[in-house]
């Protein structure tokens, strides 16, 4: 397996495990990642995901060009026909919160993968970039769309149009990451955040992620309406009642995702 998953205390740690190739993704790795994302989404014991890369040099440097050859089929065959293409990184989806622990280079598809994380933590030696225009291509796994939503138009266009790399401190300044820590503290920082999230009510966490994700694509009034609907749906859930009881009794709540 080029991608590993470990689950402990409701936290799944997913590791891109090709350090000899800077954790670049070949078609097999992408298929494994999609399978793991399906497992994460369907396993009620998993409440939070941490995504990282093996080793200390690279989170992910995108597609492994040595193993990723152009398809023999036409684009029309792949897009409209019955041929099953390799799943795209752009379509990875889960309702569970995902924390990216970025421990080195996050370039091209690697940065596009990081952009799909809800929270990004970086080591102080991390480097970020979308260099596709430098080789006559474009970010094709959601990069042109997600980077603008993540950091704003001007900083996003600077990265997209120049293809230049930025360091961890610049990534922190423009809001691409939430925190910068030493390499030795990276996983513990990510795990600490994951534990805080995992201790919260799973249904409420899932609702918040969905509302925040959908809300940025729709008008404010529609988002507020969805928020009220979600509040009503959760109002009589077992976890919400448990949360109120625990607060009154001055104890930690025990949430069950019900």
Q: Active-site residues: which are they?
A: 112, 132
Q: What size, in residues, is the chain?
A: 258
- Residue 257 has, within 13 A of its CA and on its CB side, a CA count of 13
Q: Rounded to 5 degrees, what are φ and ψ at 211?
A: -65, -45
Distance CA(62)–CA(108), nearest Å, equals: 5
């Amino acid at each position: 397996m080029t991608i590993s998953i470990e689950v402990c205390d409701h936290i799944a740690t997913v590791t891109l495990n090709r350090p000899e190739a800077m954790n670049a993704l070949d078609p097999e790795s992408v298929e494994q990642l999609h399978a793991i994302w399906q497992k994460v989404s369907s396993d009620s014991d998993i409440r939070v995901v941490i995504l990282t890369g093996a080793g200390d040099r690279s989170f992910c440097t995108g597609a492994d060009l040595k193993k990723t050859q152009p398809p023999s089929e036409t684009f029309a065959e792949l897009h409209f026909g019955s041929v099953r293409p390799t799943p795209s990184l752009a379509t990875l989806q889960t309702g569970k919160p995902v924390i990216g622990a970025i421990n080195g280079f996050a370039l091209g598809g690697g940065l596009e993968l990081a952009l799909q994380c809800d929270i990004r933590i970086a080591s102080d030696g991390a480097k970020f970039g979308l260099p596709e225009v430098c080789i006559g291509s474009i970010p094709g796994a959601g990069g042109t769309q997600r980077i603008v939503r993540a950091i704003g138009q001007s900083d996003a266009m600077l990265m997209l149009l120049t293809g230049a790399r930025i360091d961890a401190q610049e990534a922190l300044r423009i809001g691409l990451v939430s925190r910068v820590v030493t390499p030795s503290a990276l996983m513990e920082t990510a795990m600490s955040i994951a534990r805080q999230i995992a201790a919260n009510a799973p249904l409420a966490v899932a609702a918040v992620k969905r509302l925040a994700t959908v809300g940025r694509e729709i008008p404010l009034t529609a988002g507020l309406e969805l928020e009220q609907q979600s509040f009503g749906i959760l109002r009589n859930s077992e976890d919400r009642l448990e949360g109120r009881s625990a607060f009154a009794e001055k104890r930690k709540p025990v949430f069950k995702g019900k």
